[in-house]
Structure 1
Amino acid sequence: MTADQHQPPGAAPGQVEIVGVRGIGEVRPGDDIAALLKDAGLRDGDILVVTSKIVSKAEGRIREAPDRAKAIEDETDRVVARRGDTVISQTRHGFVMAAAGVDASNTDPGTVLLLPEDPDASARRIRAGLAHRVGVIVSDTFGRPWRQGLTDVAIGAAGVTALADFRGAADTHGNPLSATVTALVDEVASAAELVKGKLDGVPVAIVRGLSHLVTEDDGPGVRPLVRPADEDMFRFGSRDVVFARRTIRAFGDRPVDPEAVRRAVAAGIAAPAPHHTTPWRFVLVESAATRMRLVDAMREAWIADLRGDGFTEESIAKRVRRGDVLRDAPYLVVPCLVMEGSHTYRDDRRNAAEREMFVVATGAGVENFLVQLAVEGLGSAWVSSTMFCRPVVREVLDLPQEWDPMGCVAIGHAAAPPRDRAPRDPRDFYVTR
């Protein structure tokens, strides 16, 4: 494939003109935006950039909201980060933006504007109502995590090329381009904002000179610009990352990246521990044969114990079935406690407390490990039953006697999205003195 094949259709423009459309007036629910633009002076090949606020108003996406926070919560699919009253949310459209796009500006007091239900569909409807062959972009304002200031981007599009993919081409020096994908509709939306402004009452702009980006059909809209979750290196904000950890009991066939597990171990050993010790050891069970030997040996030990306790075979089968998550997982890790550096005292009370300190530190390391697995996009389930058959685990994994297995972590890619957490009120779990 040649470099020319990566270019958008047609020749690159020598000049671009951006014209603000004035005189539209206040948009009300039920208004036809295309009809409002019949005298805008559109020409074939133009790109029309429409601020999402007037699209929301025309579509009745106005909500009585004395409490804006509740509207944000209702429009949020996932909280990415919080700081004070600022919430960065992912909407059901897949957009990651401040306040889930809920806007209290340019609307009547006591109301807020929500994003259009389907901005791509909104762009298609506007385009269908226009007499000329144009592209339509619905824009909104986004912040950037690593830069100050806001800019407009496309949240909906129809009839315009969204991306220019230059991967596989070479630059003027012959260097191969491996990651260059240009968000054309975002660039056009940002340029249009220069004439629309935030306070000038100009909600629509015409961008002229980019006819090579205008397509015959409506196209896929902005969906190609929304980064899939498994490609998002910054999916979780620091304040909410702990809540990303979920217990996953059904895994897909996709293999686990061993380096991701090793990075999770690095997070595990960053946990606090008594006496400046390092009480954590992680056994990475990467061999499928070893995993099966371990799971089978633990199962036999569990069954023997349960029979000795007088459980019925039906009850035993039910209890043992809980360990199936270990059998089905493509990767297992056995966290272990070591007491190196612990102190020995004259009485059993203090010696018991010393061990408890090390157990707590190991738990902190395991929690760090589980959270980092979630950051890496991996699901996990911590199964504590190794502690009922420690000698068996040591024998199968050929571990030193002083290594104390503290559970087994099943790891893999979740076969389905996890269920919502059961609601818990933190006030039920603390007292104030």
Structure 2
Amino acid sequence: MSEAAVPGYRVWALPGMPEVRPGDDLVKLIAAATADGVPQLVDGDVLLVTSKIVSKAEGRVVEADDREAAIDRETVRVVARRGTLRIVQNRQGLVMAAAGVDASNTPSGTVLLLPEDPDASARALRAGLRATLGVDVGVVISDTFGRPWRSGLTDVAIGAAGVRVLDDLRGGTDAYGNPLSATVVATADELAAAGDLVKGKATGLPVAVVRGLGHLAGEPDDGPGARAMVRSAEDDMFRLGTSEAVREAVTGRRTVRSFTGEPVDPGAVRRAVAAALTAPAPHHTTPWRFVLLESPAARVRLLDAMRDAWTADLRADGRSAESVAKRVRRGEVLRAAPYLAVPCLVTEGAHPYPDARRSTAEREMFLVAHGAGIQNFLVALAGERLGSAWVSSTMFCKDVVREVLGLPAEWEPMGAVAIGHPAQAPGPRPPRAAEDFVVVR
């Protein structure tokens, strides 16, 4: 194989870049650096520019005796916190340490903010180099990121123009003919990391060039920019930090009464049962049992028997036919769900007492523990992105439920939980002020 046919690329840093100050013309500075005894830029090259010099040129240097206050202003939400370190989502949509606010390589008493719109900055650089040097290059603006599950820092793309930021290989095959179904390569990040190998972190070389990867440059109309690399919230399995995840699971849990026809993963329900079993319980007991109705026949058989029992009870109470039909319809949420769970209370291990007062209190302890288990179950289902509705109906016909499901006499059905994928997003929850429910003594 000839040398020309060997796949490869070349990357080098531009020497001679001066200290950048607010208002400087980066295009002129880069054009001058490329003319000073180094290879000239040609079509298909990719220019890799450290975000710090873009921020300086754009005047994103701000007075800030308190860096934390600057981080607060740039933060949209806090994802995770450990001591003084904060991982946050910033105004540009990036999740990173300290919102990208940098106190290094800037005069004392000031901090550097990220470019206001890194993609727009990349487009301006690309257009300026085309007008000044007559070359069509790609531009990547990079910043340094830490990464979940991996030690060490690396440069990634926060802005891009004229570069294929994502290389979608889905639909193709590998060398063995296996289909590629999930392979989308973050090419702009790989370019940024390659440039960092020659720029370094403290060498005063903020700009690099990659040559030999022209198939990644020259995107029409500048391309989608690095913003396209920010994973959408609905697709991000790891979007939430630890504290956020707990709050989201608890406060985001809603009663869902309308479901799609998508099947429910039985494994997800069993994981929710496992979460239920972590609830507190008296005397080291385990008062929770869950009957999982996974077959349509089992669900129909139970719900038909319950409907007949409710109807008979309501008629015996003297209810009108209209009133009976209205109340029976309230249970239709169970029939519409693709999956049902019937939580049952078992008071095995309860202490016997000779008087009614203490016996009642003993039972109430078990009821509270069982309720805690159901709440854990519902919250865990929400964490699995499953909707649910706890319906009390089985408590009104326990004998019928036990008979249809073949349950032991000591198992007490405590309602039923309809489970499925929500047919639509729930509406906003009415606000409740915690102080309205608190009494301090």
For normalisation by structure 2, the TM-score amounts to 0.74
Contact in 2 for aligned 1:377/1:413 (Cα 8 Å): yes
> Which residue, 425, 435, 441 being the options, matches 1:416?
425
Q: 1:85 to 1:17 in 2, by over 3 A?
A: same
Q: Which amino acid aligns with 2:174?
A: A
% same residue: 62
Q: Which segment drifts farther, 330-339 or 376-385?
A: 376-385
1:51-84 Cα distance to aligned partner (Å, 9 max, x none): 2334445556566766655665665555443322
1:292-350 Cα distance to aligned partner (Å, 9 max, x none): 77778579959987x9799xx99x97x99987765665444332222223332333333
Query: Is 1:19 aligned with 2:22?
Result: no
Contact in 2 for aligned 1:244/1:371 (Cα 8 Å): no
CA distance in 2, matches of 1:322, 1:169: 52
Query: Is 1:247 aligned with 2:253?
Result: yes
TM-aligned CA deviation for residue 27 of structure 1:
4.0
1:178-234 Cα distance to aligned partner (Å, 9 max, x none): 655432221211121233333444433222332232134122333554445555444
Q: Within 5 A, what are the aligned runs for 1:13-412? A: 13-20=7-14, 22-28=16-22, 33-41=26-34, 42-58=41-57, 72=71, 75-76=74-75, 79-91=78-90, 95-107=94-106, 112-131=111-130, 132-165=135-168, 168-171=172-175, 180-217=183-220, 218-223=222-227, 225-229=229-233, 231-245=235-249, 246-248=252-254, 249=256, 251=259, 254-287=262-295, 297=306, 301=310, 329-383=337-391, 387=395, 390=398, 394=402, 399-412=407-420
Q: Which amino acid aligns with 1:26?
A: V
Q: 1:395 to 1:111 in 2, by over 3 A?
A: farther
For normalisation by structure 1, the TM-score amounts to 0.75
Q: Please give the secondary structure, in 1, of the residue aligned with 2:196.
A: helix
Q: Please give the secondary structure, in 2, of the residue aligned with 1:87.
A: strand
Cα RMSD, aligned residues only: 4.5
CA distance in 1, matches of 2:432, 2:102: 28
CA distance in 2, matches of 1:407, 1:369: 13
TM-aligned CA deviation for residue 352 of structure 1:
2.8
Q: Please give the secondary structure, in 1, of the residue aligned with 2:188.
A: helix
Q: Which segment drifts farther, 400-409 or 255-264?
A: 400-409
1:80-110 Cα distance to aligned partner (Å, 9 max, x none): 4332233333456554322343444445666
Q: 1:283 to 1:115 in 2, by over 3 A?
A: farther
Contact in 1 for aligned 2:61/2:111 (Cα 8 Å): yes
Q: 1:17 to 1:255 in 2, by over 3 A?
A: same
CA distance in 1, matches of 2:65, 2:396: 55
Larger radius of gyration: 2
Q: 1:406 to 1:14 in 2, by over 3 A?
A: same
Unaligned runs of 5+ in 1: 1-9
Q: Which segment drifts farther, 150-159 or 179-188?
A: 179-188
CA distance in 2, matches of 1:155, 1:404: 57
Q: Which amino acid aligns with 1:243?
A: R
CA distance in 2, matches of 1:323, 1:63: 61
Q: Please give the secondary structure, in 2, of the residue aligned with 1:152.
A: strand
CA distance in 1, matches of 2:63, 2:317: 64
